[in-house]
Structure 1
């Protein structure tokens, strides 16, 4: 028995869950709906569709990842079923890795399926210029999903107190998706005693802004699609380390670091 068994159980349980099928339906409706409606809100090109669709996914994928992961371990811990799971030939590392992999599969399979369908609809409606780079869009979205699954599963392992997990999940989403830019601006304001325009950012401020997972997502996507979402990092004088590869690295770190921190607390905690 190993982490693969736990991941398989997670995916198998998801296949019988009405909530997961609702997730699939929501993703499909949002994706195809945006593909059709894009012609009314943006330029009718495939590249413009991708850039607009990325904005939708940057809001939806983190929310779904957190919803799937934030109770993944703490629910079993508080219900007592975790003791039964660990009484088998599993250790806590198997549980951590298996839960992360299982929840990632549950999130990413329907997400990628919805993206492929939406991309096909968009190619018919807006042409195929840029279609060859569509797999890069899928890759960037996978990284975004993994970042938030890692964050939410790590959070779920960090404590056995339900309300702290709930507050952490809500606060994490608001900070990492909605308010990081505000925090970045306030930090510069405090340090410089006045608003700092992007053209006058110190070098560290670019990396600080790129730490937001959504910004890293846009920076990775910019490598294949010129959408302007990462325009802050493309101007003259920006440091070399805010290139697309840094976006990839930061998204990987967002997946790994919270998972490792949560596991370390879980490893030494009571069940």
Structure 2
């Protein structure tokens, strides 16, 4: 067996359950419903629709990604099925990579289908100006969702203690989604002795970009005018917060949690 086999099994098992179909239904209703309601709450443009639906992705994808990943390996450890899986010709690395890929597919296929249907509806309703950049939005969403799945899977591989896994999942969500920007602002305020007139230093912009949501918004800024990424563009903005840095940040949020999880998983008892 290889990581491909593990990923296929994960997706097949999800397809047989109601979870995947419920997820697809929820995300489709969320995104398509917003596309239909946008004419009442927005400016009636396709670009404006994208800016609004990004907020829905920001709210739904991180928590769904962590939830799908954070017990993916630890539950198999607890019930003994992991020993059976590893008795087959596959390594722990194959199991970890395959699990992360399978759970990412389970999250992203419904997400992309829902966003694609919503995007087609929005283009028909609000015009096609900006629609050519919509595939960029979908690609950025793939990286964004996969980063949170990787955080969850890496956490699940790191420990077998239920309490640590639960606290770690909640802590990861709070840090990466809710608190990161506030903590960066607090560090800047302390270092500048609460002198707001000094503004935001360049290194703090990079530190803010390390937040997955900020990196996601910066990537989208390449094709759309996403307001929350405005701090990374314009006159005087340092070159190290360009789109390539955001791409690297999301890639690292996929690779690093899995590498840490593998290091703990590879040397731990089953």
Aligned match of 1:8: 8
Q: Distance in 1 between matches of 2:112 and 2:125?
A: 20
* Distance (Å, rounded) in 2 between the aligned partners of 1:171 and 1:64: 15
Please list the CA deviations of residues 226-253 of structure 1 after superposition, one character each: whole Å capped at 9, or x if unmatched. Answer: 1222011113212101011111110010
Question: Quick one: distance in 1 between partners of 2:15 and 2:74?
Answer: 21
Alignment of 1:140-155 (within 5 A): 140-155=140-155
Residues 195 and 144 (structure 1), Cα distance of their counterparts in 2 relative to 1, 3 Å cut: farther
- Residue of structure 2 in register with 1:206 after alignment: 205
Worse overlay, 54-63 or 261-270? 54-63
Alignment of 1:227-238 (within 5 A): 227-238=226-237
State the partner residue of 2:191: 191
SS at match of 2:168: helix
Compute the displacement of 1:207 (Å).
0.3
* 1:135-183 C-alpha deviation (Å, 9 max, x unpaired): 0010110110111111111111010111111111111111111111111
The alignment covers a number of residue pairs equal to: 270
Which residue in the other structure is 1:130 paired with? 130
Per the TM alignment, residue 12 of structure 1 is displaced from its structure 2 partner at its CA by 0.4
TM-score by length of 2: 0.97
What TM-score do you get using the length of structure 1 for normalisation? Answer: 0.97
Q: Secondary structure at the match of 1:225?
A: coil
The structure-2 alpha-carbon separation of the partners of 1:202 and 1:75, relative to structure 1 and needing over 3 Å to count, comes to same
Q: Residue 33 of structure 2 aligns with which residue?
A: 33
Cα pair 1:188 1:195 within 8 Å, conserved = no
Match of 2:74 in 1: 74
- The corresponding residue for 1:260 is 259
C-alpha deviation, 1:19, in angstroms:
1.8
Contact 1:100-1:149 within 8 A present in 2 as well: yes
List gaps (5 residues or longer) in structure 2. Answer: none
The equivalent residue for 1:83 is: 83
Segments of structure 1 that go 5 or more residues without pairing to the other structure are none
C-alpha change, 1:251 and 1:195, in structure 2 (3 Å) is: farther
After superposition, residues 216-231 of structure 1 pair within 5 angstroms as 216-231=215-230
